Amino acid sequence: MIFRPTKFEGVMVVETEPRRDERGFLARTYCEEEFAAEKLNTRWVQQNHTATLGKGSVRGMHWQAAPFPEIKLVRCLVGKVLDVVVDVRPESPTFGQWHAEELSAENMRALHIPAGFAHGFQCLDDACELLYLMSEFFHADLARGVRCDDPSIGITWSLPVVNLSARDAGLPRFHELT
Mean pLDDT, contiguous 10-residue spans, the chain (178 residues): 96 96 94 97 97 97 98 98 97 96 97 98 98 97 97 97 96 88
Tell me the residue range of the domain where 158 lies: 2-17+30-172
The C-alpha atoms of residue 178 and residue 169 are separated, in whole angstroms, by 19
Is 23 within a domain? Answer: no
Is residue 162 a contact partner of residue 58, using CB atoms and an 8 Å limit? yes
Is 61 within a domain? Answer: yes
DSSP string, 57-111: BEEEEEEE-TTS---EEEEEEESEEEEEEEE--TTSTTTT-EEEEEEETTT--EE
Query: Can you tell me whether residue 154 is helix, strand or coil?
Result: coil
The C-alpha atoms of residue 82 and residue 80 are separated, in whole angstroms, by 7
Question: In 3D, which of 128, 145, 167 has the Cα closest to residue 49?
Answer: 128
Asked if 62 is an active-site residue, the reply is yes
Cα angle: 50, vertex 94, 16; to 5 degrees? 45
AA identity, residue 81: V
Is 177 within a domain? Answer: no
Is 22 within a domain? Answer: no
Is 70 within a domain? Answer: yes
Number of structural domains (the chain) is 1
Asked if 30 is an active-site residue, the reply is no
Q: Which of 30, 62, 99, 175 is catalytic?
A: 62
Helices then strands, counting H and E runs in the chain, come out as 2, 13
Is residue 172 a contact partner of residue 149, using CB atoms and an 8 Å limit? no
Give pLDDT, residue 117: 98
Is 178 within a domain? Answer: no
Global confidence as pTM = 0.94
Q: Which of 49, 119, 132, 175 is catalytic?
A: 132
Give pLDDT, residue 71: 98
122: CATH = 2.60.120.10
